[in-house]
A and B are shown apart, each in its own frame.
Chain A
Amino acid sequence: MNDNTDIDKISPRKLEQDNRNPVKGFAKTNTRMRFFYGLYLALFLYLACGMGYRQLYQSDEYSKRGEQQSLRRVLQPGPRGYIYDREGKLLVGTRPRRSAVVYLGELRQEFSKAYYAKVRQAKQANHELLEQGKPTLAIKSSDLNTEARAEVLQNYLNIVNHIIGRDEQIDKRTMAKHFSQRLLLPFPLINDLSPREYAQITEQIPVNSPIQIYTDSARYYPFRSAASHVLGYVSSADAVADEDSVSDDLRTFALKGQIGRSGLEKKYDELLSGTTGERVWQVDPVGYQHDMVYEKDSQRGQSLNISLDIDLQKTAENALGNFTGAIVTIDVESGEVLVLASKPNYDLNDLSPYISNAVFKKIEEEGGWLNRAIQGMYPPGSTFKVITAITAMHDANIDPNTKFECGPYYPIGSRNFPEHGKNSFGQVDLTKALQKSCNVYCYQVSQRTGIEPLAKEAKRFGLGQKTGIELLYEGTGVVPNPKWKRDVLFDTWVAGDTANLSIGQGYLLTTPLQMACVTASIARRETRTSPTILHRARENPALFKHGGEPIGLTDYEYNKLLEGMELAAGNEGTARRIQIPGIRIAAKTGSAEFRSGNQELTLAWTIAFAPIKKPRIAIAVMVEGINPNDNYHGGSTAAPIARTVLDHYFKKLSANPVFGTEPTGF
């Protein structure tokens, strides 16, 4: 009742006035509104300033960002450079690898049509299910899109199939991945077309068809497995933009290029790699290409001339046959490596454009990945006796004519150290020791010199150190001494260790390349040879310094050393099977034993240089036994192989003086 009374008290006129002007209470003059006016003004000013800031001050940045969103960069790797041998024969080239591709941008309308057709079909199917009173199927847009794309691409693939007589199918997973990650790049329908297929597609597909031939390159090795460890192989890798690229900030699609994985391909990857080309495309919001706005061509990488003589290399590898081993030959004057063979090897073409699991496994099982010429470390056996002989003359002042009584063994401490074959050579001087490869002579010399002069001399000739050849993962070898044995084996050095070292056994380890360098050094009467795999790296070989020092022997001593090595290659010597009529050869054989796993295996070595009067070529051959039944010896196994290589070299030298300077002093 009271409330009704209050309402009744309000004057009807006032109510009328209030109805006419319902916001009278918020009139302009109302001071409470001023706050909101101010707030509105501030917000408006903030908005205006913000717009001005973005429109005027930040316009460049937004334009750039807009461009970035609408531009895409495609990187095209440059083809790799070639590798030639010392005579300019192509060792590594590139072969075209052609693929039938479609450019997806040109199929946009077809994709949409196919998609809408799929949607209609799906709706129709659901409608029919509904009429039959069955539950409808869910329509998933992404699935229909994938189906539609696959259908369109399969139609194009069918055209190609029909022309070249194949029956290839679109792999939907690969396709979906391509659409999500490489939309701007051509979609490959069929890779690695044969020349016939390439010709058929070229001739029978219209010029303006979305199907085109895309060509990239794969490595090609004309000599297949020859020098495979030296040349190395490549694997595919995304192209990398050059440093001077103008569009680093754009979203980038990189076509596959190649990167060196081993050998010279890896060592000189930067030189051989071409310059990456790039194209900048304007794209639509989905990412399909529209117009090309920038283009820079790719360029081929530089070529490499290496020192190998591929004919000699092939001869060496053939001479090794099915043996496991290595051969290194060096041009004595320049240090250029003419042959660097390692067996087992592998056909490089099997590794291009990629290594299949089967090929990888096969090479792995055969032990083919190891470059035995530079990475394999083996006891050099009796070939080391030339250094023992030099130590005797240079460090122990033992006259070369000094004779030692050499029986079937030599006692050191409580152990008898045997002569090879249990022979008894009687009175033996230095030349005879080298000729017969007398162990007992070396044992006695070693007991006079001691370990340090022997180790020092070995190191003076570069053993126990990398030779510095331009190949990766070169082995160092081991030249043991008491300190080494204490540090590594936690054991003390005994006189027997010195005796073992003097015949190239025990803990001493060398690579075939090191032994070839030792041989070349002795041939030049120096202590070091700096080998190189690059041709013309040493424009004037006669003036080139290998970094060593003179051998430090008198003429008489040096001639005695050569005489011993020549006698070794003579009719009575251990290396007699190296003989080549008309050529004076200095040689030394070696047969070593080494333990691999639980097996005692044999090694056969031969080192040689020729001609003695004016040495041109030095060689080291190593053949590795791979099971205990392999009973290899330097004289019977390695020397004939060395002979084959030297024979080829001198025949080629006589037939083609350009191959080297005029042969003299045979």
Chain B
Amino acid sequence: MAYKAFSRGIFYEFQAPVWSGLSQIRDLQTYWAGIIQSNKQLFEEGKDLARLNAAYRIFQQRNEALQNEIHRLEKVLKIPPLPQHRIVVARVARRELNAWWQELTIRVGTDKGIIAGSAVIYGDGVVGRIKEVHETSSVVELVSSRSFRMAATFEGDTRPVTYQGQFNYTLGTSFGHVRDVPSDLRASEGVPLRLVSSRLGGVFPEGLLIGLVSGLEPDTNGLFTEGNVRLSERLLDIREVAVLIPIEVTVSTSDQSEEPIYDF
């Protein structure tokens, strides 16, 4: 067993630079594709980019203000602080999407302190979880993969449910499956329910979108309902993700609690 694992590791470490190199070349391609555009067009896009950056700076400032307010209220109300994460942004080097497993390879590994099991997210919500970590790359198990499972909640509801990926074809929209849903929740095509991550599981922060549920049916033992979760179509086309690495926080005696602190 150890021999097999060692061989596999060695093989992977040889493969990884190739994938990483290809990914770098693709980035270079994109860069040169931009460079060869006319000056006027570049100027216009630069202006758009500056506007976007300015808008994002404002959002960032707002977030910081809100964050400070949250910290203040936590102190005043003596609420245990949320867990903290360090964010590592990573480019996607390779996608492996098939019916058996759905994985991404990203261009960060132990060199950036990536830890197996960490949450991986992007702008539209949950991407997956770090499955394997190598020197300069890591494998992310996508949320659509059959062996991916996480605790979730429906937006506006606190009761935990179980989300699991399911058999997905390579092309087209990916689906997952949600079960253990309390039977008083209703979902329809017109009013789908938003399934979001739950911090109860200890891996993901709260409220990140997983997908939409358009219908729920009673499960086999009649206790709960279950249904399919439509995942974001952008999931198959992600170029950049953020890895959330839990930070061990030392808190003062008065602030000690079971839960660590989030710090976005």
Residues of A within 8 A of B (CB): 76, 78-79, 94, 96, 165, 195-196, 198-200, 202-204, 206-208, 213, 215-217, 274, 277, 297-300
Contact = CB atoms under 8 A, between A and B. Distances in A.
B222 A204 contact: no
Contact of A203 (B147, B203, B221, B222): B203
Contact of A202 (B162, B220, B221, B222): B162
Nearest to A298: B221
B201 A199 contact: yes
Contact of B222 (A196, A199, A208, A299): A299
Given A96-B224, A204-B117, A274-B222, 6 more contacts: A195-B200, A198-B151, A199-B160, A200-B151, A207-B146, A298-B220
Interface of B: 117, 146-151, 159-160, 162, 164, 180, 198, 200-204, 218, 220-224, 258
Closest 10 CB pairs of A and B: A203-B201, A199-B151, A199-B200, A300-B222, A199-B201, A199-B160, A297-B220, A202-B151, A207-B147, A203-B151
A297 B220 CA distance: 5
B151, B204, B221, B224 — most chain A CB neighbours (10 Å): B221
Contacts of A277: 220-221
B220 A198 contact: no
Chain B interface mostly helix, strand, loop or mixed? loop
A215 B225 CA distance: 13
A203 B180 contact: no
A208 B147 contact: yes
A215 B226 CA distance: 14
Contact of A79 (B147, B223, B258): B223
B160 A198 contact: yes
B223 A215 contact: yes
A341 B104 CA distance: 63
Contacts of A202: 149-151, 160, 162, 201
Contacts of B149: 202-203, 207
Contacts of B148: 207
A302 to B, nearest CB: 12
Contacts of A299: 222
Contact of B221 (A76, A195, A207): A76
A196 B200 contact: yes
A200 B202 contact: yes
A290 B127 CA distance: 36
Contacts of B159: 195
Contact of B147 (A200, A206, A217): A206
B47 to A, nearest CB: 44
Given A199-B160, A199-B198, A96 B222 contact: no
A200 B198 CA distance: 10
Nearest to A295: B220
A206 B141 CA distance: 12
Contacts of B147: 206-208
Contact of A78 (B146, B160, B204, B221): B221
A297 B202 CA distance: 33
A274 to B, nearest CB: 6
With most chain A CB atoms within 10 A of its CB, the pick from B146, B202, B218 is B202
B145 to A, nearest CB: 9
B196 to A, nearest CB: 13
A468 B242 CA distance: 69
A79 B200 CA distance: 26
Contacts of B198: 199
Contacts of B201: 199-200, 202-204
B222 A298 contact: yes
